[in-house]
Amino acid sequence: MRLNHSILLIIPALIWGSTWLVIKFQLGVVDPMMSVGYRFFLAGFLLLGYCRLRNIPLSFTVKEHAFIAIQGLLFSTSYWLVYISEIYLTSGLVAVGFSTLIFFNIFLAAIFLEQSVSSLVVLGALFGLMGTAIIYKPELNALSFSDDSFKGLVYCFLGVLFASSGNVMSAFNQQRKLPVIQTNAFGMFYGAIYMLILGIISGKSFVFDVSFSYVVSLFYLTIFGSIIAFTSYLTLIGRVGAGKGAYAILSVPVVAIFLSVFFEEYAFTWYSVTGISLIIGGNMMALKK
């Protein structure tokens, strides 16, 4: 069944709005790098199994596997950086910072995929960045280079950069007629291998948390966050481009902020309200056409 663009946009927006909070349950016993490895391995395993059951072709050339592996490495690195940023920041703030992905997508797509950039896009990007700065104003006023929240910001925006690069790489792969489900399956698998090997080399403990909260959150992030939402989002990017596809990110901060209020005691301020309004307004302006 071919889903329309609206459904493909709504699915990742709603699911990813909750995953920022669920990621918190992954932090603690297991190092973030290993948790991302477990998540991607499980997602890749389930997707490859699905392809086998449905007799979906899994044959690609070595060159195509290389392109798929790059996509997987970019996304796994992004998720690892996001996990680390949530050690220092609330999930809602990380989600708001991640909403700038839309602008990274537009500009990187212009550079690498030769898509045009209008003046409205530039103006919208400025509004979005201004909104993010306003939301973080209390934290920014108290920041020092040794401050933990500053570390969280750095990890967050590095995560955005890698995620955007992965988005553009996915669009590039789809331009080369590589199917989304199979590339997502192999990409997740390659990303998992990369994370786990990197974790072992860097001395991370190869442990697993058998607690209810860790196991349930791992399966939720794998099935909903990585398989369902990711496949919908990458399909959308393939159809409408990396810039327009990132419109799905618009409502994610709003969903995440409200969940953060209930579960993390995040308090709304005029800064957060004004900042969210500017980010949404900037995104709508950038994607008006």
Contact between 100 and 156 under an 8 Å Cβ cutoff? The reply is no
Whole-number pLDDT of residue 288: 63
Rounded to two decimals, the pTM is: 0.83
Whole-number pLDDT of residue 7: 79
Divide the 289 residues of the chain into consecutive groups of 10 and give the mean pLDDT of each group.
69 82 87 94 94 91 96 94 86 74 82 75 76 73 68 89 92 89 93 94 91 95 90 80 66 71 75 81 68
Whole-number pLDDT of residue 88: 85
Q: Which of 36, 180, 169, 13 is CA-nearest to residue 98?
A: 13
- Rounded Cα–Cα distance for residues 96 and 104 (Å): 14
Whole-number pLDDT of residue 230: 83
Whole-number pLDDT of residue 214: 95
For tokens 């991640």, the residue is 98
Contact between 75 and 174 under an 8 Å Cβ cutoff? The reply is no
CA distances from 204 to 32, 33, 60, 70 (A): 10, 8, 33, 23
Contact between 97 and 256 under an 8 Å Cβ cutoff? The reply is no
Whole-number pLDDT of residue 280: 76
